[in-house]
C-alpha cells in the first residue's frame, strides 16, 4: 500500500454514492452503505475506489456544486462515517480516491455569498466577475454546458459572473492566488484524513482568458451534440488556458509531500483531449488523465487503436486512464448494443478489451454485472442536462440508477425505502446474487481478467504492439508476452497466430495450430510461447 507508483496500470472502481447502497432506508445511498459493500469491490480484484462527490451541497448538480469543501453532506453521513469507510477500505487493500470539484463551487458557498454582496469585500475577486457591455448584455459569447449564455447578472454588484455549468455553479477565479491556496488547503484536509488521491473534475476548466475574448464558432451539424449551443463553439478562451499547468504543478507538489498518493484528471474537450491528457501528465503534474474519447458511440478497431497510439506518441512520459462507462454517459453495453451478439457477450468482450489496454483503467459500478442503461420518463429525471435538452438528450440519470444487488428483494436490495431517489428498473437478472457462483457470467469474467492483469507486469505496465489487422479485429501484443485479440462485430473473422500461444481467457473462438477463428464478439487473451 506504500508503493508510490501503485497507480501505474491500476484498476479503479467508480462508486456513485447516491446509488450504491442505502443503509438508513431514506432511498439514497450513503457512506455506511458503501462500507457495507466494500467486500464485493475488494473481491473483484481492483486496486482502488473512486467516490463521486460527497461534500455538503444543495444538489443542484448532484454534488458537483460544493457548498463546503471540508464536510460531508448529511444525506451521505458524517465525517466519522467517512473515516470508518477509509479504515475498512484500507483494511481490504483498497485505495480511496475522492472527487474534487475545484473549477467552480455552489452559489450557496459562503465565499460566493460574500463575493456577490459587493465589489469591495475580501472575497470580491474570488469568482469571475465582469462588467456588462454598454448595451447591458453579457461580456462575451461564452456558452454554458447546461444551456444558455455562461453569464448571470448580479444586481448588487451590477456585474455578471461566469459559470461553465449551471448558474448555481459559479466559476472560481484561479488568477487569484488566494483562491488557489484555499482549494489546496481543502485537498490537504482530505489527504490528512487518509485519502489516497483525487479525481479532478473538469481539470482543464480552471483558468479563463483574462481578456474575456470571444470563443470562435465551430458549428458541426453532424456532431452528436449538435442540439447543444456549447458544442457550436471552439472553446479557445473559456478553458484550456496555459496557466492551468502552474496550478497542476502546485497540486502535484502538495501530493508529493505524502506517501503513495495520486491525481487523475478529467479532460473535457472535443478538439485536443488526447494532447491535453499528454501535456497534463508529463513532468511534475497529474499522474494520470482521461477524456471522453472512449466514452462515445464509436466502436471499431481503428478508433481504439488510434486513441492508444496517439496518446503514447504524443506523451512519451505521460500516462492515460481509460474507461468505457461512467456517471456522465450512456452505459457501454447499451451504447454499443448494435455491435453485440447479445448483451452478455458484449459485456464480456468489453471487459476483456478494456482490462488489457496499456494505461490505468476505471470501471463504473454495475459494469461487472453487465448493467444496461435505464429508460426513464421525463417526470422521473433529476439531471439538469436531461431536463434542459429532453428529448434530444435524455440526460445522465439513466446510468445513475441504483445498483441491483439481489433479484428477490425490493429495490434490488439497494434500499428498504418505499421510493428511491431514482427508480430501480434494471433487468433483475443482472445482479450480484444471481452471478455470485456462476462460472460463465459477466462477474466471473471481470474477476478472472482482473486477477490475470494484477498477476502480470506485461498486462499491467507492458508496452503495446498493435498487429496490422483489418476491421473488425483489434489485436495487439502486451509486453511481448500476451496476445490480445477481439472481434468487435457480430460477423466471423480469423487471425493468423504470430507464434504458438497458451490460452488464458477466451469467448466464442476456435484455436488451431496457426490460426484463430472468432465467432461473434469472440476474443482471446493468450500468453506467447
Q: Residues 362, 332: one domain? A: yes
* pLDDT bracket for residue 225 (50, 70, 90): low
Taking CB atoms within 8 Å and a gap of at least 24, the contacts of 117-126 are 117/156, 117/157, 118/156, 118/157, 119/157, 119/159, 125/173, 125/176, 126/172, 126/173, 126/176, 126/178, 126/179
Q: Is residue 31 within a helix (H) or strand (E), and if so which, with residue range?
A: helix 31-36
Report the CATH number that the domain containing residue 481 is assigned in CATH. 2.60.40.1180
Q: Is 300 a member of any domain? A: yes
315-333 pLDDT, tens digit per residue, is: 888 999 999 999 999 999 9
- In this prediction, residue 464 carries a pLDDT of 98
Q: Could you tell me how far CA 329 lies from the centroid of its own chain? A: 9
369-396 pLDDT, tens digit per residue, is: 999 999 999 999 999 999 999 999 999 9
Work out the average pLDDT over 183-210. 98
Q: Is 344 a member of any domain? A: yes
pTM: 0.96
- Cα separation, 116 vs 160, whole angstroms: 10
C-alpha grid cell, residue 138 = 453579457
Work out the average pLDDT over 308-312. 95
Residue 192: count other Cβ atoms within 10 Å of its Cβ.
9
Q: Is 457 a member of any domain? A: no
Q: Residues 262, 331: one domain? A: yes
Q: Is 166 a member of any domain? A: no
- Cα separation, 334 vs 84, whole angstroms: 36
Residue in 295, 286, 349 with CA at minimum distance from that of residue 322: 295
Residue 435 confidence (pLDDT) above 90: no
Of 47, 201, 215, 368, which is the active-site residue? 201
CA distances, 241 to each of 61, 200, 212 (Å): 25, 16, 12
Q: Residues 282, 364: one domain? A: yes
Quote the number of domains for the chain: 2
Q: Residues 367, 472: one domain? A: no
Residue 222 confidence (pLDDT) above 70: no
Q: Residues 433, 516: one domain? A: no
Q: Residues 360, 472: one domain? A: no
Q: Residues 353, 471: one domain? A: no
Report the CATH number that the domain containing residue 296 is assigned in CATH. 3.20.20.80
Q: Classify 252 as helix, strand or coil.
A: helix
Residue 199 confidence (pLDDT) above 90: yes
Q: Residues 342, 473: one domain? A: no
Average pLDDT, the chain: 95
Which of 417, 450, 483 delimits the end of a domain?
450
Active site residue 83: no
Active site residue 192: no
C-alpha grid cell, residue 391 = 428529448
Q: Residues 322, 256: one domain? A: yes
Cβ-contact 73, 52 below 8 angstroms: no
Q: Residues 523, 431: one domain? A: no
**Which is more confident, 225 or 454?**
454
Residue 117 confidence (pLDDT) above 80: yes
- 98: phi then psi, degrees, rounded to nearest 5: -120, 150
Task: Give residue for cell 463521486.
Answer: 52
Q: Is 5 a member of any domain? A: no
Taking CB atoms within 8 Å and a gap of at least 24, the contacts of 7-10 are 7/47, 7/48, 7/197, 7/262, 7/264, 7/287, 7/288, 7/360, 8/287, 8/319, 8/360, 8/460, 8/461, 9/359, 9/360, 9/453, 9/459, 9/460, 9/461, 10/47, 10/48, 10/95, 10/360, 10/361
Q: Classify 237 as helix, strand or coil.
A: coil
Q: Is 327 a member of any domain? A: yes
Q: Residues 443, 342: one domain? A: yes
Q: Is 25 a member of any domain? A: yes
396-421 pLDDT, tens digit per residue, is: 999 999 999 988 889 999 999 999 99
* pLDDT bracket for residue 1 (50, 70, 90): very low
Q: Residues 364, 473: one domain? A: no
Parent domain of 442 = 11-103+177-210+239-371+426-450
135-153 pLDDT, tens digit per residue, is: 999 999 999 999 999 999 9
Q: Is 128 a member of any domain? A: no
Of 266, 269, 373, 383, which is the active-site residue? 266
Amino acid at each position: 500500500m506504500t508503493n508510490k507508483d501503485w497507480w501505474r496500470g491500476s484498476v479503479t472502481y467508480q462508486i456513485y454514492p447516491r446509488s450504491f447502497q442505502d443503509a438508513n432506508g431514506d432511498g439514497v445511498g450513503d457512506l455506511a452503505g458503501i462500507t457495507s459493500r466494500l467486500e464485493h469491490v475488494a473481491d473483484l480484484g481492483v486496486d482502488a475506489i473512486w467516490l463521486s462527490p460527497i461534500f455538503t451541497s444543495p444538489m443542484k448538480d448532484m454534488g458537483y456544486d460544493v457548498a463546503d469543501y471540508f464536510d460531508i453532506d448529511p444525506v451521505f453521513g458524517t465525517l466519522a462515517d467517512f473515516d470508518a469507510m477509509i479504515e475498512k477500505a484500507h483494511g481490504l487493500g483498497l485505495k480511496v480516491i475522492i472527487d474534487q470539484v475545484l473549477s467552480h463551487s455552489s452559489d450557496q458557498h459562503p465565499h460566493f455569498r460574500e463575493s456577490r454582496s459587493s465589489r469591495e469585500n475580501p472575497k470580491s475577486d474570488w469568482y469571475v466577475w465582469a462588467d456588462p457591455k454598454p448595451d447591458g448584455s453579457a461580456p462575451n459569447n461564452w456558452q454554458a454546458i447546461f444551456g444558455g449564455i455562461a453569464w448571470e447578472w448580479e444586481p448588487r454588484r451590477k456585474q455578471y459572473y461566469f459559470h461553465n455549468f449551471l448558474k448555481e455553479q459559479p466559476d472560481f477565479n484561479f488568477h487569484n492566488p488566494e483562491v488557489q491556496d484555499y482549494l489546496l488547503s481543502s485537498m490537504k484536509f482530505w489527504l490528512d484524513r487518509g485519502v489516497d488521491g483525487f479525481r479532478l473534475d473538469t481539470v482543464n476548466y480552471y483558468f479563463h482568458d483574462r481578456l474575456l475574448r470571444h470563443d470562435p464558432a465551430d458549428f458541426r451539424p453532424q456532431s452528436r451534440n449538435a442540439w447543444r449551443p456549447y458544442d457550436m463553439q471552439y472553446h479557445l478562451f473559456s478553458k484550456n488556458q496555459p496557466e492551468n499547468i502552474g496550478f497542476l504543478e502546485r497540486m502535484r507538489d502538495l501530493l508529493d509531500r505524502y506517501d503513495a498518493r495520486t491525481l487523475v484528471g478529467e479532460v473535457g474537450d472535443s478538439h485536443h483531449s488526447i494532447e491535453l491528457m499528454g501535456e497534463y501528465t508529463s513532468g511534475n503534474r497529474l499522474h494520470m488523465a482521461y477524456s471522453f474519447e472512449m466514452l462515445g458511440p464509436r466502436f471499431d478497431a481503428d478508433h481504439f487503436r488510434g486513441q492508444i497510439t496517439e496518446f503514447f506518441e504524443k506523451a512519451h512520459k505521460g500516462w492515460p486512464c481509460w474507461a468505457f462507462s461512467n456517471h456522465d454517459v450512456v452505459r457501454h453495453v447499451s451504447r454499443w448494443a448494435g455491435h453485440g451478439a447479445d448483451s452478455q457477450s458484449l459485456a464480456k468482450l468489453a471487459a476483456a478489451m478494456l482490462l488489457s489496454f496499456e494505461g490505468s483503467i476505471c470501471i463504473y459500478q454495475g459494469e461487472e454485472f453487465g448493467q444496461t442503461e435505464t429508460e426513464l420518463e421525463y417526470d422521473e429525471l433529476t439531471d439538469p442536462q436531461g431536463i434542459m435538452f429532453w428529448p434530444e438528450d435524455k440526460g445522465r440519470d439513466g446510468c445513475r440508477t441504483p445498483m441491483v444487488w439481489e433479484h428477490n428483494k425490493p429495490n434490488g436490495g439497494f434500499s428498504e425505502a418505499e421510493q428511491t431517489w431514482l427508480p430501480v428498473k434494471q433487468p433483475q437478472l443482472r445482479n450480484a446474487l444471481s452471478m455470485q457462483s456462476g462460472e460463465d457470467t459477466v462477474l466471473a469474467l471481470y474477476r478472472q481478467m482482473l486477477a490475470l492483469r494484477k498477476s502480470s507486469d506485461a498486462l499491467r505496465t507492458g508496452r503495446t504492439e498493435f498487429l496490422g489487422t483489418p476491421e473488425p479485429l483489434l489485436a495487439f501484443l502486451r509486453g511481448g508476452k500476451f496476445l490480445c485479440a477481439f472481434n468487435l462485430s457480430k460477423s466471423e473473422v480469423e487471425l493468423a497466430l504470430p507464434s504458438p500461444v497458451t490460452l488464458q481467457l477466451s469467448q466464442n473462438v476456435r484455436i488451431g495450430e496457426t490460426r484463430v477463428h472468432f465467432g461473434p464478439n469472440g476474443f482471446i487473451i493468450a500468453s506467447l510461447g
